[in-house]
Chain A
C-alpha cells in the first residue's frame, strides 16, 4: 500500500514546470479495440489487476462490448497529460489521497451518479461518495495483539488500553511518518478525544500523547511488510496494522487477533480523468464496478471491504465479520480524513521530525 501510494505522490509543484512530451507520451494501443469502444484504467497493477479482470473487467466487456485496458501511471504522468491537453487515460483507480490532490487541481470530472443503470448510488455509503470520486473498496488500520501474551477477552480494547502499559505490558508498534501518515488519530483517541471530534487533528496534543507511550514503542513501522514481520516474529505484542496484512498472518495460523475498537477506515477510489476520450465508458465502468454482486466477489478475494452496503448481504457472515467497513467495523471505527491529511502533511512531517529527534 505504501509503495503504491508513493508512486502517486511525488511533486505537486513539479508538474507545472515539467510539462512535457516525455511524460505525456501516449499509450500504444493496437488492434480493433479502439473501434469497438474501450476504457483505459490506471491501476496499482500486480495481483490486483488479476482479481479485477476476473470479477470486473471481463464481465463488463461481455455485458457492453467495451474493452478494459489497465495501465500503470504516476500522478506526475497523469498531470503531464492533463497539462498537455493530451489525456489518453479515462479512469483513475488509486488511493483516496492522490485523488484528492488531483481533484483540487481540477483534473477530475464529476462522477455522473445520475447516469447509473446497474447500481443505486444510495447503496454506496454516503461517506464513500463525493463529487469527483467514489470509493471502490475499504481497508482499515486495526489494533492487533498477540494471543500468547493476551488471551482473547483479556486483550486491550481500543487505543486508551493500548496506551496503558501497566495493565498491558510488552513492546508495541505504531505507524511511522514514512507511511505518509503516522497514527496521530489513535493518539488522540487514547488521550480522550471522541471519535467524531478527531479532525482537524490537534498535532501537538497527539504528539504529547505519543510521548507517553513512546518508551514502549519498539519501532514505528514504515512498510506493511515490516509491520507484519514484527508481529509474526513477536518483536512486538501489540500494534497498529492494516487489516489485510494481519488477516494473511492469521490465515497462516499466527497466534494473532485484532480488536475493532477505534479502527481507522481508509479507502481506495475511482475518478474520471477530465478531458478523457472515453469519458462515457469510464462512467459506465464505475457504475458496473459498484454493483453489490461484483463488489462482493472482488472484496472477498482482496480481503478488503466493499463500499456498496448491499454487497454485505451477499457475503458469508464470517467474511463480513472481518471486513473493514462492515457494520461491526463502522460501529466503533472512524474514517480517516484524507482531505485534512492532504492539506497538512507537510506541517505534520516537520512536527514529527522535531518530536522524534527532539
Chain B
C-alpha cells in the first residue's frame, strides 16, 4: 500500500523537519564545531579519554543518574495514586486536582524554587511546625542537600507523570474492571491483574519522560542542592559559560545524550513487546 505509506510520512514530515531544524542540526553543528577546535581525531580521542576518566565527571554521571532515578521513583509513587484519583474525579474535584497538578507549569522555576525555600528552610514552614509540635528538637535539613534536590525536582516533574498516566488510565475500559470483578477478583486482584498491566505502558512512558528530563536538570539542583549535588548539565553549563571550553562541553553532551538514547532504546524494545498484546 504505497499510498498509505506516503500519507504516513506526509503526516510525520513537518514534525521531523522541525526537529531536524531546531534540534538535530544545532546539536550536530555544536558537536562538530566544538570537536573541530581540537584539530585532529587523536586530539579528540585524548580529550574524550580525559573526560571519561575524570573523577569529577564520573561523579557527576553517578549523581545525575542517582538523582534522576530517585526522582522518577518518587514521582511515580506520588503520581500513580494521584492520576488514579484524577481519572475517577468529576466536576469541581477534577478541576481542583488538575489545577494543583498543572500549576507548576505556570510559574517560573525560580519562583517555584524560592517558594520551596520558604517551606523547607531551617526556619521554614515545615520545621516550624515540627518544632512547634515537639516532633523534632533540631530543625530538619530539608534544603541544600540531596533531599532538597529530590523534593524540588519531584515537584517540577510530577505533571509529566500525572498527565501521561491520566491519559493511560482514562483509556482503560471500566467494563474490563467490572468484568474482572464479576469473574471473582477482589479489588486488589483487579488492580494487580488488570488495571496495573493495562496502565503499565503509561508508567514506562511517564517514567522515561521524567527520567530523561531529570537527567538534564540544572537550575533546581543548583538552587536547592548542597555542595556535592552536582549534575551533568551543571558541569556542561559551566564549561560553556565560564571556561568557554566547547570541546569538553561537547564531549560531556555526547555522554549525556548517549545515556538518554540508551535508555530510550531499552524503553522502545520493552514498549514494543508489551504493545503487541494491546488491541489499540
Give chain A's interface residue range (CB within 8 Å of chain B). Answer: 20 to 34
Quick one: closest A residue to B218, CB to CB? A178
**Which of B63, B143, B222, B226: most chain A CB closer than 10 A?**
B222
**B40 within 8 A of partner (CB):** no
User: A325-358 interface mask toward B, CB cutoff 8 Å, 1 = contact, 0 = none?
Assistant: 0000000000000000000011001100110111
**B245 interface residue, CB < 8 Å from A?**
yes
CB <8 Å contact, B230 and A356? yes
In the bound complex, do residue B227 and residue A346 qualify as a contact, i.e. CB atoms below 8 Å apart?
no
Distance of A9 Cα from B239 Cα, bound (Å): 12
Stretch in A134-142, A211-219, A244-252 touching the partner: A211-219
Asked if A353 contacts B114 (CB within 8 A), the reply is no
Q: Is B55 within 8 A of A357, CB to CB? A: yes
Asked if B117 contacts A14 (CB within 8 A), the reply is no
The reply to whether the CB of B241 lies closer than 8 angstroms to some CB of chain A is yes
Count of chain A to chain B residue pairs whose CB atoms are closer than 8 Å in the complex? 92
Q: Which of B60, B118, B241 has the most CB of A within 10 A?
A: B241
With the chains together, A107 CA to B119 CA distance in Å? 49
A222 an interface residue at 8 Å Cβ cutoff? yes
Residue-by-residue, is A1-20 near B (CB-CB < 8 Å gives 1, otherwise 0)? 00000100111111001000
The residue from A9, A214, A220, A233 contacting B242, defined by CB atoms under 8 A apart: A9
- Per the 8 Å Cβ criterion, residues 24-78 of A in contact with B are none
Report B-chain residues with C-beta under 8 Å of the C-beta of A10.
Answer: 240-241, 244
Asked if B66 is at the interface (CB within 8 A of a chain A CB), the reply is no
Q: Shortest distance in angstroms between B114's beta carbon and chain A's nearest beta carbon?
A: 7
Interface of B is mostly: helix
Looking at the complex, which one of B114, B123, B144, B238 makes contact with A178 (CB distance below 8 Å)?
Answer: B238
Give a binary string over A215-250; 1 marks a CB under 8 Å from any B CB, 0 the rest. 001111010001001000111000000000000000
In the bound complex, residues from chain B placing their C-beta under 8 Å from that of A11 are: 240, 244, 246
- Contact size class for B? 35 or more
Q: Once the chains bind, are B227 and A233 in contact (CB under 8 Å)?
A: no
B33 / chain A contacts, CB cutoff of 8 Å = 17
Chain A contacts of B63 at CB under 8 A?
A: 357
Chain A residues near B121 (CB, 8 Å)?
233, 235
Q: Which of B222, B223, B227 contacts A214 (CB 8 A)?
A: B227
In chain B, positions 66-110 with a C-beta closer than 8 Å to chain A are: none
Smallest beta-carbon distance B250→chain A, Å: 12
Assess whether A189 is interfacial by the CB under 8 Å rule: no
When the two chains form the complex, which single residue of A9, A222, A358 contacts B55, counting CB atoms closer than 8 Å? A358
Contact residue among B222, B223, B228, B241 (Cβ-Cβ distance under 8 Å from A356)? B228
Let me know if A14 and B246 touch, CB within 8 A. yes
Contacting residue for A350 out of B56, B143, B144, B227, CB 8 A: B56
Once the chains bind, are B37 and A235 in contact (CB under 8 Å)?
no
**B112 in the interface (beta carbon within 8 A):** no
Output the least CB separation between A171 and chain B (Å).
8
* Distance in angstroms between the alpha carbons of A180 and B54 in the assembled complex: 21
A177 contacts the other chain (CB 8 A):
yes
Residues 21-43 of B, flagged 1 when their CB comes within 8 A of A and 0 if not, give 00000000000010001000000
Separation of A155 and B124 alpha carbons in the complex (Å): 25
Selected from A14, A345, A353, the residue in CB contact (under 8 A) with B235 is: A353
Q: B117: which of A233, A345, A356, A357 is its contact (CB, 8 Å)?
A: A233
Contacting residues, chain B, for A346 (C-beta < 8 A): 242-245
B56 touches A12 (CB 8 A): no
The interface residues of chain A lying within 8 Å CB-to-CB of B122 are 171, 233-235
Alpha-carbon separation in the docked complex, A180 to B242 (Å): 6
Contact B144 A349 (CB under 8 A): no
Question: Which B residues are closer than 8 A to A by beta carbons?
Answer: 33, 37, 54-57, 59-60, 63, 114, 117-118, 121-124, 143-144, 222-223, 225-228, 230, 234-235, 237-246
Known: A10-B240, A218-B144. 17 other contacts (CB 8 A): A9-B244, A219-B144, A222-B223, A226-B223, A233-B122, A234-B123, A235-B122, A346-B244, A346-B245, A350-B54, A350-B56, A353-B238, A356-B230, A357-B55, A357-B228, A358-B55, A358-B56
Closest 10 CB pairs of A and B: A357-B59, A353-B56, A346-B243, A219-B144, A354-B56, A357-B56, A349-B243, A218-B144, A233-B121, A12-B244
Contacts A/B (CB < 8 Å), 15 sampled: A9-B242, A10-B244, A11-B244, A14-B246, A17-B33, A177-B242, A178-B238, A219-B144, A220-B227, A229-B117, A346-B244, A346-B245, A353-B57, A356-B56, A356-B228
